Amino acid sequence: MAGPGGDMQWCFSQVKGAIDDDVAEADIISTVEFNHTGELLATGDKGGRVVIFQQEIENKNQPQFRSEYNVYSTFQSHEPEFDYLKSLEIEEKINKIRWLPQKNAAQFLLSTNDKTIKLWKISERDKRPEGYNLKEDDGRYKDPNSITSLQVPVLIPMDLMVEASPRRVFANAHTYHINSVSVNSDNETYLSADDLRVNLWHLEITDRSFNIVDIKPANMEELTEVITASEFHPHQCNTLVYSSSKGTIRLCDMRASALCDKHSKLFEEPENPSNRSFFSEIISSISDVKFSHNGRYMMTRDYLSVKIWDLNMENRPVETYQVHEYLRSKLCSLYENDCIFDKFECCWNGNDSVVMTGSYNNFFRMFDRGHRRDITLEASRENSKPMQVLKPRKVCTGGKRKKDEISVDSLDFNKKILHTAWHPQDNIIAVATTNNLYIFQDKVN
């Protein structure tokens, strides 16, 4: 993959998480997201916790000094709940985290589980007041008779403390399971989407939300598709898209009407009849949709491929990349072991020239749009020496297996990379395996 100064090579930088092979279910990473500057990297897990890493800005003038991400804050975002009316447990798993653009010294993010969205404020405290007149430093009240003079308390430096506090709780607006949250470019509103509805919220108002998309049929027996992902356009605050389990994407314009049930654009590629099978419907279900940073394209991920759509062309994608086509003949086994239901995400790099998505066996794939090249890399502890260059991996689809190739039957389907994120400006990527977070950087020549 060519970049300035020759081919890009990815090197191991860090890995976060337990080394244990025995994975505790609560530690399973369920979402990964860089903030808008890339300085902060947030992860959410199945246990409802959010862990934020901060990049230590080391000497940027000497690029060979790699800046590391270290734990900045950890907090319990969501707890398990019980819906007594329906006798249903509500999982605390964090489905999505989205950062708000920074407005002041504090950082804000939205985190959501299946039913409730929360706005968290993450702020730093590095000074504390000392020298109160009525209190001792340890908090005990002074004997008033012993006070003979007045002093002005001073702020003295202290060890950095990072506090996370829930500022808003947006609850009770979703009957079905929330799959997406997206902050609008107006920085005032955001959307949340569940299987059948998309709601619009104002960040300041928690007791009300507007329903802008509702695809619930009058008779649930006629249900044929659900909403799988939704996102606001990065620049046009009136535009949003939502993807469906049928492989279609609808673009809606909120200026057209209050209820956006009628789409402005419908993106759909006709199905290739030669690929028809029992499982055609499942594998065409879109698991993720992401606008490009420039707002001209959007990317969708279905089970076997990544598609890039031009917003001006609805009848087919402009680019299609096969992630793991060798799995097409294994769909029946993947159905039996539930892997066919895995929801892979995808992401763009900062300048929209490369896209990335995960696969099985802890493989992840990058597609260089400009140079029409792709690469498969692996996140594993074996390749985790500092600055070790990652070797491209190859899956052998049949016939003689070459050296260093891995055959399809040897792939470990329990090791899946569902969540990946790319730094908004630099070539730094975060890749989540089941319970570990790998950070890779492009080797600077």
Partner 1 sequence: MNATTAMEVNIEAKRILAVSISKLYASRTQRGGLRLHRSLLLSLVMRSARDIYHSSRECEAPSCAQSAPEEPMETSSSPEEPIRQPEPEPQQATAGSETASDPEEPGSEAEEYDCEITEDKENMSPERQSRKRRGKASAAPDFLPSKRARLEPGEERHAAPLGSCRAGAGDSLTTLSLNRVIPAF
Residues 6+ apart with CB under 8 A from 85: none
Contact stretch for partner 1 (CB under 8 A) within 2-10, 85-93, 234-242, 317-325: 85-93
Contact stretch for partner 1 (CB under 8 A) within 62-70, 275-283, 354-362, 386-394: 275-283
Q: Is 281 in the site for partner 1 (CB under 8 A)?
A: yes
Residues 145-174 binding partner 1 (CB under 8 A) are: none
Q: Is residue 441 a contact partner of residue 428, using CB atoms and an 8 Å limit? A: yes
Residues 288-317 binding partner 1 (CB under 8 A) are: none
End-to-end CA distance of the chain: 14
The Cβ-side half-sphere exposure at 248, using a 13 Å CA radius, reads: 15
Q: Is residue 69 a contact partner of residue 14, using CB atoms and an 8 Å limit? A: yes
Which residue type sits at 178? Answer: I
Distance CA 51, CA 45 (A): 9
Q: Is residue 442 a contact partner of residue 9, using CB atoms and an 8 Å limit? A: yes
Q: Please report how close the Cβ of residue 32 comes to partner 1 at its closest, in angstroms.
A: 21
In this complex, which beta carbon is closest to partner 1, that of residue 83 or of residue 404? 83
Provide the token pair at 430: 């975060």
Q: CA torsion angle for 369, 253, 172, 48 (degrees, to 10)? A: 10
Q: Please report how close the Cβ of residue 354 comes to partner 1 at its closest, in angstroms.
A: 29
Distance CA 399, CA 109 (A): 50
**Which residue in 29, 51, 181, 196 binds partner 1 (CB under 8 A)?**
196
- Three-state SS at 129: strand
Contact stretch for partner 1 (CB under 8 A) within 35-43, 60-68, 159-167, 334-342: 334-342
Q: Please report how close the Cβ of residue 23 comes to partner 1 at its closest, in angstroms.
A: 17
In this complex, which beta carbon is closest to partner 1, that of residue 281 or of residue 310? 281
Contact stretch for partner 1 (CB under 8 A) within 26-34, 121-129, 274-282, 345-353: 274-282
Q: Is 65 in the site for partner 1 (CB under 8 A)?
A: no
Q: Is 226 in the site for partner 1 (CB under 8 A)?
A: yes
Provide the token pair at 338: 């539930």
Q: Is 86 in the site for partner 1 (CB under 8 A)?
A: yes
Q: Please report how close the Cβ of residue 315 comes to partner 1 at its closest, in angstroms.
A: 24
Contact stretch for partner 1 (CB under 8 A) within 11-19, 145-153, 251-259, 336-344: 336-344
Q: Residues touching partner 1: how many (CB under 8 A)?
A: 31
Q: Is 114 in the site for partner 1 (CB under 8 A)?
A: yes
Backbone phi, psi, residue 434, to 5° = -55, -55
**Which residue in 223, 313, 387, 389 binds partner 1 (CB under 8 A)?**
223
**Which residue in 206, 243, 245, 359 binds partner 1 (CB under 8 A)?**
245
**Which residue in 210, 279, 326, 413 binds partner 1 (CB under 8 A)?**
279
Beta bridge partners of 166: 120
Quick one: which H or E segment has residue 201?
Answer: strand 197-202
Distance CA 438, CA 400 (A): 32
Residue appearing with tokens 């108002």: 205
Q: Is 90 in the site for partner 1 (CB under 8 A)?
A: yes
Q: Is 91 in the site for partner 1 (CB under 8 A)?
A: yes
Backbone phi, psi, residue 437, to 5° = -115, 120
Query: Is residue 388 exposed (0-12), middle (13-18) or buried (19+ Cβ within 10 Å)?
Result: middle
Q: Is residue 70 a contact partner of residue 56, using CB atoms and an 8 Å limit? A: yes
Using only the alpha carbons of the chain, give its radius of gyration.
24
Contact stretch for partner 1 (CB under 8 A) within 100-108, 218-226, 321-329, 390-398: 218-226
Q: Please report how close the Cβ of residue 225 comes to partner 1 at its closest, in angstroms.
A: 8
CA nearest neighbour of 359 among 319, 399, 404, 327: 327
In this complex, which beta carbon is closest to partner 1, that of residue 110 or of residue 196? 196
Contact stretch for partner 1 (CB under 8 A) within 104-112, 164-172, 216-224, 350-358: 216-224
Q: Is 176 in the site for partner 1 (CB under 8 A)?
A: yes
Contacts with partner 1 by CB under 8 A lie at 83, 86, 88-91, 93, 114, 175-177, 195-196, 220-221, 223-226, 228, 245, 278-279, 281-282, 285, 332, 335-336, 338, 341
